[in-house]
A and B are shown apart, each in its own frame.
Chain A
Amino acid sequence: MKHSLCLFLILMLSFTVHAQKTGFTGVVTDAESGKPVPGVMVRLLGQDIAVFTGPAGDFLITNATRGKDMITFSSAGYGDVQKEVIGVTDRITDLGKIKMSATDSPYATDDDGLITFDESQIDDDAGTGQTIGNLSGAYDDVYLSTASYAFGTTRFRIRGYDSDYTKIYLNGINFNDPARGQFNYSMMGGMNNAFRNKDIISGIDISNFSFGDLGGATNITTRASEYAPGFRGSAAYTNRNYQWRVMMSYSTGLLPSGWAFTFNAITRLGENGPVDGVFYNSIGYFLSAEKVFNQKHSLSVTTFGAPTQRGQSAATYEEAYQLAGDNLYNPNWGYQQGKKRNARVVESFDPTAMISWLYKPQTGTTVSTGIAFRHSRYGSSALNWYNAQDPRPDYYRRLPSYYSDNPILDALYTNLWENDEQFRQINWDHMYEVNYLNNWENQNKGSDKGSTYIVENRFSNQTNLFFNSHINHRLNDVMTLQGGIGLKYTDAHYYKTVKDLMGGEFWLDVDQFSERDYPNNSDILQNNLNNPNFKAKKGDKFGYDYNIHSIVGNAWLQNNINLPQWDIYYGLQMAYSQFQRFGNMRNGRAPENSFGKGKIHIFNDAGVKAGVTYKLDGRNFFIFNAMYETRAPFFGYAYISPRIKDDIIPDLQSERVLSGDLTYRFSYPRFKGRITGFYTNFYDQTDATSFYHDQYQTFVNYILTGVRKSYKGVEIGLAYKITPSVTVTGVATFARYQYKNRPTGITNYENGSRADTTQTVYLKNFYVGGTPQQAFNIGVDWSAPKMWFFDINLSWFDKAYVDLSPLRRTQEAVNFPLEGNTQTEIMHYFDEKAAEITHQQKLKGGFILNASVGKLIYLTRSSSLNINVSLSNILNKKNLQTGGYEQGRFDFTNFNVNKYPNKYYYAQGFNVFVNVGFKF
Chain B
Amino acid sequence: MRSLKLFIALFLGSLLLNTGCEPDYDVPPITVPEASVKANTTILELKTEFTGDLDSIGYKTGTTPYIIEGVVIGNDVSGNIYKNIMIQDATAAITISLDGTNLYNSYRLGQRLVINCTGLYLGKYRNLQQLGYPGTSGISFIPLPLFESKAQLNGLPDSPADTLQIKISDLPAAFPELAKYQSQLIELKSVYFVDAGQPFSLQGKSISRTVKDTLGNSIVVYNSGYSNFYTDILPSGLGDIVGILSYFNTGYQVLLRSRADVFNFNGTPVPEPPVDQDNSETNPYTITQAQTRQGETAVWVKGYIVGCVKNGSAVVSDGEFVAPFSSQSNILLAATAGETEIAKLMPVQLVFNTDPRNQLNLKDNPANLGKQVLLKCDLTTYFNVTGIKNITEFKLLP
B17 at the interface (CB under 8 A from A): yes
Residue-by-residue, is A334-362 near B (CB-CB < 8 Å gives 1, otherwise 0)? Answer: 00111101000100000000000000000
Candidates B11, B26, B106; contact of A265 at CB < 8 Å? B11
**Among A336, A406, A412, A516, which residue has its beta carbon within 8 angstroms of that of B25?**
A336
Residues on the A chain within 8 Å of B133, using CB: 408-409
- Given A441-B108, A519-B228, A519-B229: A339 touches B20 (CB 8 Å cut-off): no
Which size class do B's interface residues fall under? 35 or more
Which segment of B2-10, B338-346, B349-357 sits at the interface? Answer: B2-10
Q: Complex formed: what's the CA distance from A231 to B15 in Å?
A: 18
- CB B137 to nearest CB in A, in angstroms, measures 11
> Which residues from B are CB-within-8-Å of A416?
145
CB <8 Å contact, B102 and A388: yes
Closest A residue to B111 using CB positions: A437
In the assembled complex, the CB of B178 is this many whole angstroms from the nearest CB of chain A, namely 29
Task: Chain B residues near A281: list those with CB within 8 A.
Answer: 18-22
Contact assessment for B28 and A432 in the assembled complex, using a CB-CB cutoff below 8 Å = yes
B291 contacts chain A at the CB level, 8 A cutoff = no
Q: Does any Cβ of A come within 8 Å of B101's Cβ? A: yes
Across the interface, do A231 and B7 meet the contact criterion of CB distance under 8 Å? Answer: yes
Which residues of the partner chain A approach B267 to less than 8 Å between Cβ atoms? Answer: none
Q: Is the CB of B25 within 8 A of A387?
A: no
Alpha-carbon separation in the docked complex, A282 to B23 (Å): 14
Report Cα–Cα, A875/B21, bound state, in Å.
Answer: 35
| One of B27, B108, B134, B158 near A503 (C-beta < 8 A) | B27
A residues less than 8 Å from B232 (CB atoms): 520
Tell me, yes or no, whether A920 is within 8 Å of chain B by CB: yes
Within 8 A of B (CB), among A207-243: 230-231, 233
Q: Provided the pairs A281-B18, A337-B26, A434-B105 are in contact, do residues A250 and B229 lie with their beta carbons within 8 angstroms? A: no
What chain B residues lie within 8 Å of A388 (beta carbons)?
A: 102, 105
B145 and A423 within 8 A (CB): yes
Q: Across the two chains, which residue of chain A brings its CB closest to B78?
A: A519
A-B contact count (CB 8 A): 121
Which of chain A's residues has its CB closest to B12's CB? A265
Q: Whole-angstrom distance from the CB of B35 to the nearest CB of chain A? A: 15
Complex CA distance for A430 and B144, rounded to whole angstroms: 14
The answer to whether A412 and B146 have CB atoms under 8 Å apart is yes
Is B268 in contact with chain A by the CB < 8 A criterion? no
Looking at B6, B22, B31, B156, which has the most chain A CB atoms within 10 Å of its CB? B22
* Distance, CA A436 to CA B153, complexed state (A): 14
CA distance A516 to B20 in the complex (A): 42
Q: B28 near A389 (CB under 8 angstroms)?
A: no
Is A267 in contact with chain B by the CB < 8 A criterion?
yes
Known A-B contacts A283-B20, A389-B100, A416-B145; the reply to A250 vs B7 at CB < 8 A is yes
For residue A261, which residue of chain B has the nearest CB?
B4
Please tell me if A762 contacts chain B, counting CB pairs below 8 Å. no
A406 to B280, CA, bound (A): 55
Report the separation of the CA atoms of residues A336 and B20 in the bound assembly, to the nearest whole angstrom: 20
Contact A269-B18, Cβ < 8 Å, known A336-B28, A428-B28, A440-B156: yes
A283 to B18, CA, bound (A): 8
What residues of A have a CB within 8 angstroms of the CB of B18 in the complex?
267, 269, 281-283
Q: How far apart are A421's CB and chain B's nearest CB, in angstroms?
A: 13
Asked if A406 meets B14 with Cβ closer than 8 Å, knowing A231-B7, A337-B26, A441-B157, the reply is no
Q: A246-B17, A503-B27 are in contact. Are A406 and B136 (CB under 8 A)?
A: yes
Contact A309:B10 (CB < 8 A) given known A389-B101, A408-B134, A436-B30:
no
Instruction: Decide if A432 touches B27 in the complex (CB within 8 Å).
Output: yes
Q: Is B324 an interface residue (CB 8 A)?
A: no
Q: Does A452 contact B (CB under 8 A)?
A: yes
Considering only CB atoms, which chain B residue lies closest to A518 in the complex? B231
* Contact across chains for A250 and B145 when beta carbons are under 8 A apart: no
Q: Are B7 and A248 in contact (CB under 8 A)?
A: yes
Residue of A with least CB distance to B144: A389
Q: Which of B10, B20, B108, B230 contacts A519 (CB 8 A)?
A: B230
**A433 contacts the other chain (CB 8 A):** yes
- Chain B's closest residue to A500 (CB) is B25
B residues 213-250 in Cβ contact with A at 8 Å: 226-232
Which residues in B have their C-beta under 8 angstroms from that of A279? 22
Q: Indicate with 1 or 0, residue by residue over B102-118, a CB within 8 angstroms of chain A CB atoms.
A: 10011010000000000
Query: In whole Å, how far is A437's beta carbon from the nearest beta carbon of chain B?
Result: 6
CB distance from A529 to the nearest CB of B (A): 20
Q: Does A651 have its Cβ within 8 Å of any Cβ on chain B? A: no
Which of A244, A267, A452 has a CB less than 8 Å from the CB of B105?
Answer: A452
Shortest Cβ distance from A520 into B: residue: B231
Pick the most buried of B105, B108, B227: most chain A CB atoms within 10 A of its CB.
B105
Residue of B nearest to A920 (CB): B3
Within 8 A of A (CB), among B4-58: 4, 6-7, 10-11, 14-15, 17-23, 25-28, 30-31
Smallest beta-carbon distance A706→chain B, Å? 35
Query: In the bound complex, do residue B11 and residue A389 qualify as a contact, i.e. CB atoms below 8 Å apart?
Result: no
Q: A757 to chain B: closest CB distance in Å?
A: 19
| Least CB separation from B19: chain A residue | A281
Contact across chains for B17 and A413 when beta carbons are under 8 A apart? no
In addition to A265-B10, A428-B25, 5 A-B residue pairs with Cβ atoms within 8 Å of each other are: A231-B3, A309-B22, A434-B106, A437-B156, A519-B227
13 sampled A-B residue pairs with Cβ under 8 A: A244-B17, A249-B7, A281-B21, A283-B15, A337-B25, A337-B26, A338-B26, A339-B25, A388-B105, A389-B105, A429-B28, A503-B28, A516-B79
Which residues in A have some Cβ–Cβ distance to B below 8 Å?
230-231, 233, 244, 246, 248-250, 263, 265, 267, 269, 279, 281-283, 309, 311, 336-339, 341, 345, 387-389, 403, 405-406, 408-409, 412-413, 416, 423, 428-430, 432-434, 436-437, 440-441, 444, 452, 503, 515-517, 519-520, 920
